[in-house]
Structure 1
């Protein structure tokens, strides 16, 4: 089963913060155009909270991979039944299969079993993606006030992720400052396993607002 790396959360974090006008600048009619740059990849990989998040997501990933591996015997059994049915229904039309109660029962049972197995596989992958998304959201929420505070102290109206620009003046790189302030907050990540249904419920709630 393919699962995403914890570092995938960086894109969502950067997208939520980068290129966002400071509220005070908006009130001033965007008269200032100062820019600061943050290496969000480095913030996630080097900060204590980011490392804690990655370690905890690694534990979730290992747990899910173990569960996915335990499905291997069922996957093999399903493939064997698929092959057996293919042999049994060779040269039979759809109508002939439906009219053969024995074969039709096997086909229906197989389809139900295969669909249930696929949902289990998708559920495991969805659990990891949901767990990663919620962990990334927590880190983003911790970073936002810090980045905005640095923006205000620098008189900046825009923050750009260094990964989206080819060159910039090192003087506008505030990554070290953001890192230091995040670490000074001494926040631990609460990353843990979350079922995909939790994220689905959150999305439905957001859509209904």
Structure 2
């Protein structure tokens, strides 16, 4: 999962934010029209100090998980060798006999455990990226709103989804500058998150009353 594609898909959920009374008054003076501005979130992530810090720290988590994945290789090779051995041993047996064979059952369980461990590592990386980008959204959204309202706009669009954006309506650079000028929005706390944090089941829906 590529980091930039995630943030583009997330789009920071600010497609339509209510403007302040001052901004409303400004739009009233412009025949009640609503101004829209656009932002390139990929640029914010790639060019801002905050975005660069996030990418560097996610890279560290990726390296950690990659090192753990490397430790699984000997087990994967051993499983493959055992599968080849059993293929020769059980070649002339029926499917039912193979299913009931203790060695085949042990190998199947071993394979399941190996696949679960590998999937868990991949899930940890994906969950860490997702939750980190949610935190990125949380930090960036107030800055986007502030810049948007200073332009008298009531809507902000993802520039990558817009067909055409005039330069004067692109607030990407302004948002990056605002983030970089505030020490509190120049770095992020990025930690590894287990996949379980992203796969918790939603509460069961209450059945409709009869």
Q: TM-score range with shorter-chain normalisation?
A: 0.7 to 0.9
Any runs of at least 4 consecutive aligned residues in structure 1 with deviations exceeding 4 A, and if so which? none
In the superposition, the TM-score normalised over structure 1's length comes to 0.84
- Could you list the per-position Cα deviations for residues 48-100 of structure 1 after superposition, in whole angstroms to 9, with x for gaps in the alignment? 1111100000000011111111111111000111111111111311233356x
More helix, by proportion = 1
**What residue is the counterpart of 2:49 in the other structure?**
48
In the superposition, the TM-score normalised over structure 2's length comes to 0.84
C-alpha separation in 1, matches of 2:56 and 2:112: 33
Task: Quote how far apart the aligned CAs of 1:208 are.
Answer: 7.3
Does 2:106 correspond to 1:109?
Answer: yes
C-alpha separation in 1, matches of 2:150 and 2:156: 13
Q: Which aligned pairs between 1:57-96 and structure 2 lie closer than 5 A? A: 57-96=58-97
- Could you list the per-position Cα deviations for residues 88-147 of structure 1 after superposition, in whole angstroms to 9, with x for gaps in the alignment? 111311233356xxxx11111111100000000000000000111111000100111111
Give unpaired runs (5+ residues) of structure 2.
none
User: Any idea what SS the aligned residue of 2:191 has?
Assistant: coil
Does 2:191 correspond to 1:195?
Answer: no
C-alpha separation in 1, matches of 2:125 and 2:9: 16
C-alpha separation in 1, matches of 2:199 and 2:99: 37
Aligned partner of 1:180 among 153, 156, 177: 177
C-alpha separation in 2, matches of 1:32 and 1:21: 14
User: Any idea what SS the aligned residue of 2:156 has?
Assistant: strand
CA-based RMSD: 2.4
Task: Quote how far apart the aligned CAs of 1:15 are.
Answer: 5.3
C-alpha separation in 2, matches of 1:189 and 1:15: 16
